[in-house]
Amino acid sequence: MSVEHILPERQLKELQKAMLDFMQSQGYTESFAAFARETDNEGFVVEANDRHHNLLAKKWTSVIRLQKKIMDLETKLSKLQEDIRTGAVATRRASRASEWLPRPPAKHRLAQHQLPITCVRFHPQYMVLATASEDMSVKIWDSESGDFERTLKGHTKSVQDMVFDQKGKILVTCSADLTLRVWDVADDYKCVRTLYGHDHCVSAVAFLGTDRLVSASRDKSVKIWELSTGYCIKTLSGHADWVRAVAVSDDARMICTASNDQSVRLWDPNTGECKSDMRGHENVVEVAKFAPVSAHPFLRRLVGLPPLPPKTNGSSTADNSQPSESASQFIISGSRDKTMRLWDATSSQLLHTFTGHDDWVRDFVFHPSGKQLISVSDDKTMRIWDLTTGRCAKTIEASEHFTTCIDYSSVNPQVATGSVDTEVCLWECR
């Protein structure tokens, strides 16, 4: 009688090899030989550097950890349901959840990397954090517990940047080894493609829609890639020096870049045309990002622009003379001149300068509410800025060395920062 396997053929073979590895490591030689013969794996040889080595034990501990997490969540859910039933939940707390900000001390300190941290990225749907380092590796963590999950190896030089796709199925990394690597999250983060084409260190990467990537490099170029084929389909040229950062507007219609040539540029990815060249920084521009539409009302108030009229249903009532909301209207950049600057991307006009950091501004992230911006710097601090006033509202000592990167979780109110001291800090927002 035939039995239908629960697992697909490829996963079944993976499980068989993991079981064989376990039997061999435990000294079950007769069981090993019999099982290898019955599963047509008689040629399988156990090696310490094989991906199947100790895989069964790792999977088992992962299941135990997930079971514990499920039990903890069920307990919290039961308590919340009881609080709701008895009226113990304060509605004021729920209404202010969108305004929660990171508070010291750090909830977790993740210390597995051997060299400075270059990038931190939260998974868009799960409580997972990816961290990249100059030690050539990417590490995956449980962002709630701080537990280490796995290490991704393949790059041969410093990993400079990384990005998850919108659904979190793909992770793309870029490196000083001149390549970008595509990792399949669902298939145990297997590297499924390597992209070649840059002539120098690849500094930054971002998704441009679902099947396109854009990368920036020390070779002064910006390249657009087709993810499904791995082909470079367009190269944008114009910067006079190392392109440090690249970002994509929420509607994927525009790209902005930051460079050692002290400029920020706006690009049309379809034509490859540079639409705007923003100059005013007095040193290398480390980072540039489009302000999300949620931040636009606060930025308009900051610079004295009138609020846009509310959207109306039906084109017959719309006033075509009024300016329309644009996902690429505002860009904020951070520089080694210790400032961040707000730009009108279409006119290249400098609208505001944020001053307060005492050293290079390395990275920043917008708060989900749109009201604040959180930046990190070589002055070892994380600063929270009120976008309505343009002032620093709070300063947090983030690390014992230069703080290099930051990200905000879209799943859990949490912030991650990375530092030259090789540590990643997880900050609870409340």
In this prediction, residue 102 carries a pLDDT of 96
Is the predicted pLDDT of residue 119 greater than 60, yes or no? yes
Q: How would you label 30-59 residue by residue, b for 16+ Cβ within 10 Å and e otherwise?
A: eebeebbeebeeeebeeeeeeebbebbeee
3-class secondary-structure state, position 300: helix
Is the pLDDT reported for residue 298 higher than 80? yes
Return mean pLDDT, the chain.
Answer: 90
Q: Which of 290, 288, 298 minimizes the C-alpha distance to 386?
A: 298
Position 91 pLDDT exceeds 60: no
Q: What percent of the chain has pLDDT over 70?
A: 92
- Tell me the pLDDT band of 94, cut-offs 50, 70 and 90: very low
User: In the numeric block, which tokens belong to residue 401?
Assistant: 């060395």
- Would you state the pLDDT for residue 312? 59
Q: Return the beta strands (E) in 336-397 as ranges.
A: 339-344, 349-355, 361-366, 372-377, 381-386, 391-397
Q: What is the mean pLDDT of residues 219-239?
A: 97
Place of tokens 């109110």: 413
CB 412 within 8 A of CB 143: yes
Residue 183, pLDDT > 90, answer yes
For residues 150 and 43, the model is more confident at 150
- Which residue type, as a one-letter code, is found at position 31? S
Question: 95 pLDDT exceeds 60?
Answer: no
Mean pLDDT of the 45-72 span: 76
pLDDT at res. 11: 80
Residue 281 pLDDT: 98
Which of 86-95, 146-155, 181-190, 372-381 comes out lowest in average pLDDT?
86-95
Q: How do residues 96-113 score in pLDDT, each as one tens digit?
A: 666 799 999 999 999 999
- Is residue 226 within 8 A of residue 211, CB to CB? The reply is yes
Q: Quickly state the pLDDT bin for 315 (edges 50, 70, 90).
A: very low
Distance (Å, whole) CA 129 – CA 352: 33
Nearest partner of 410 among 211, 129, 131, 214, judged by Cα: 129
pTM above 0.85, yes or no: no
**Residue closest to 403 by CA, chosen among 7, 102, 187:** 102
Helix 55-86, helix 9-25: angle, nearest 10: 110
169 phi and psi, to 5 degrees?
-85, -25
The residue among 265, 283, 296, 300 whose CA lies nearest residue 361 is: 283
Residue 66 — very low, low, confident or very high, per pLDDT cuts 50/70/90?
A: confident
Helix, strand, coil shares of the chain, percent, nearest 5, are: 20, 40, 45
Helix (H, G, I), strand (E, B) or coil at 411: coil
Are the CB atoms for 392 and 385 separated by under 8 Å?
yes
Tens of pLDDT along 390-427?
Answer: 999 999 999 999 999 999 999 999 999 999 999 999 99
What are the distances in angstroms from CA 293 to CA 37, 129, 178, 247, 404?
A: 61, 25, 34, 15, 26
Write the pLDDT tens digit of every residue in 244-254. Answer: 999 999 999 99
Q: Do 221 and 243 meet the contact criterion of CB atoms below 8 Å apart? A: yes
User: For 325-352, how does the pLDDT look when each residue is reduced to its tens digit (9 = 90+)?
Assistant: 689 999 999 999 999 999 999 999 999 9
